Amino acid sequence: MTAPAQSTTTPLSAGRAKKPPKLKGGFPIIGHTMPFVKDTIGLLQKTYDECGSVGRFKLFGKDMILFTGPEAHEALFRQPDEVLSPNAAYKMMVPVFGEGVAYGAEPAKMAEQMHMLYPALRNNRMRTYTETVARETLDIIADWGDEGQIEVSSFFGMLTNFTSSSCLLGTEFRNEMSEEFSKVYYDLERGIVAWGYIHPYLPIPAFRRRDRARARLGEMVSEIVEKRRRSGYRGEDFLQTLMDAEYSDGSKLSDHEITGMLVAAMFAGHHTSSVTTAWTLIELLRHPRFLEEVRTEIRARYSDSEDYNFHSLRDLEKTEGAVKEALRIHPPLFILLRAALQDCEILGYQVKKGNWVAVSPMVAHRDERVFQDALAYDPHRYGPGREEDKRPFAYISFGGGRHKCMGNAFAILQIKTIIAVLLNRYDFELGDDPVETDFQGLVLGPKPPITVRYKRRRA
């Protein structure tokens, strides 16, 4: 563990702090809004290339200040919420999670809600999740036969929907999943688009479908909660954790709050796992040397018994390196935001009330000063002697500081389990489709179609 950094925030002093360098171009009033909406990654990368570790551009009259590099990331992530607020920055998520839930709650209440999830992430629960993910994966490939093909985005989207719902929502919800749930969830996640950063309630079709989907999902979760209460059944899942949870004043979560927290957990568990599992398999198939190392490790571990348990998965170091490298090159969230609630000075630069402040894992992970041969897929960078992810605030696929994603261990374990089951049973090869990134949603997955052929491995 690293020692807590000294605060890098000071009150803004007139004439002393510098204005962050400004990105060239832009238009009056709207600034760089159109390039941001059309090519967000390109604009962020251009800001870093032109301005360095701290740079700014303008969106609809507001300054967005981009911090890039380990020291800059730490300076941002160390700020207290009353200075740089994630809640104010992520208002786009309030219609998805619901008013009074997560980013739609006051900071103190949000902190209580996040703390309620810790029991669901302890080792005894993680052991249960591993077995659940393995079972779901084995079930879905049970009718594959000796050979065939899949489209990776849709396949892993479906599989991780099943695994995440089993672990998070519970067996009742998983057993009753229907085409309606798939459509509702699809409309909800497709309601997170770049325009939401500007205004989350614009009268556009994606937002109208999002709002209808959130209302229907609330009804579906409430039905499951009521059935569980009537039956007396207790599950080993996030749903039970939230049903049992209490605020500091002794009050319970409402059904609305339970639904919002489950949606937040599903988004974190499903989105990250879906796209990263797809990217992990794709990158391994594009790099036969690393594929052979991972496949050998998995098949040696499960040569005698396919006992996919928590301890056996934890020991798959090469497999974990492959997953972490997929997360580095293809971070699911390409931008992490804060909103300045007061004037302050960070690393000698002015940050004024109303500014947006950001880091970009996508841009940060391409930095040659931090990662050797940064654009190359190289799982060895996490092994002994290199450990490039151990430099504080360099590897930020899951964010950093007090708001670092607490489900990161669950996500990596889920992905490792799926990869272990698949590579132990089958050999794979990429089809002829071009491999590109889909930049349409908030989470960056492979752009379909990407076909992968499979063949049952020889004993």
At 52, which CATH number? Answer: 1.10.630.10
Residue 104 CA to residue 54 CA, distance in Å, equals 29
pLDDT digits (tens, 9 = 90+) for 321-379: 999 999 999 998 899 999 999 999 999 999 999 999 999 999 999 999 999 999 999 99
Provide the number of structural domains found in the chain.
1
Given this model, what pLDDT does residue 15 score? 53
The whole-model pTM stands at: 0.90
pLDDT in tens, 247-263: 999 999 999 999 899 88
Confidence bin at 13 (pLDDT 50/70/90)? low
pLDDT tier for residue 4 given thresholds of 50, 70 and 90: very low
Tens-digit pLDDT profile for residues 268-281: 767 788 999 999 99
Crossing angle of helices 152-164 and 408-425, in 10° steps, is 120
Angle at 196 between CA 190 and CA 198, to 5 degrees: 160
pLDDT on residue 69: 97
| Most confidently predicted of 70-79, 114-123, 185-194, 238-247 | 70-79
Condensed to tens digits (0 to 9), the pLDDT of residues 423-442 reads 999 999 999 999 999 987 66
Contact residues for 233 (Cβ-Cβ < 8 A; gap 6+): 172
Highest mean pLDDT among 28-32, 317-321, 398-402: 317-321
Rounded Cα distance between 150 and 142, Å, is 14
Q: How far apart are CA 302 and CA 345, in angstroms?
A: 54
Query: Is position 354 within any domain?
Result: yes
How large is the average pLDDT for residues 282-296? 98
Assess if residue 446 is contained within a domain: yes
Average pLDDT value for residue range 98-126 = 86
Provide the domain limits for residue 130.
9-456
In a domain, 327, yes or no: yes
Phi, psi of 408 (to 5 degrees): -65, -40
pLDDT at 254: 93
pLDDT-derived band of residue 176, with 50, 70 and 90 as boundaries? low
Return the higher-pLDDT residue of 13 and 203.
203
DSSP one-letter code for 449: P
Least-confidence region, from 170-179, 199-208, 311-320:
170-179
Q: What does the block give as tokens for 76?
A: 């941002």
Question: pLDDT band at residue 146, thresholds of 50, 70 and 90?
Answer: very high
**11 upstream amide cis, omega within 30 of 0:** no
> pLDDT exceeding 70 applies to what percent of the chain?
94
Q: pLDDT-based confidence at 5, cuts 50/70/90?
A: very low
Average confidence (pLDDT) over 119-140: 87
Any domain includes 2: no
Distances (CA, A) of 388 to 3, 151, 250, 328, 373: 19, 32, 44, 11, 12
- Per-residue pLDDT, 1: 32
Q: Mean of the per-residue pLDDT values for the chain?
A: 89
pLDDT at 222: 87
For 350, the enclosing helix (H) or strand (E) is strand 349-351
More confident residue, 71 or 198: 71
Which of 8-12, 38-42, 186-190: highest mean pLDDT? 38-42
Which residue shows structure tokens 């659940």?
132
What ranges make up the beta strands (E) of 37-85? 54-59, 62-67, 84-85
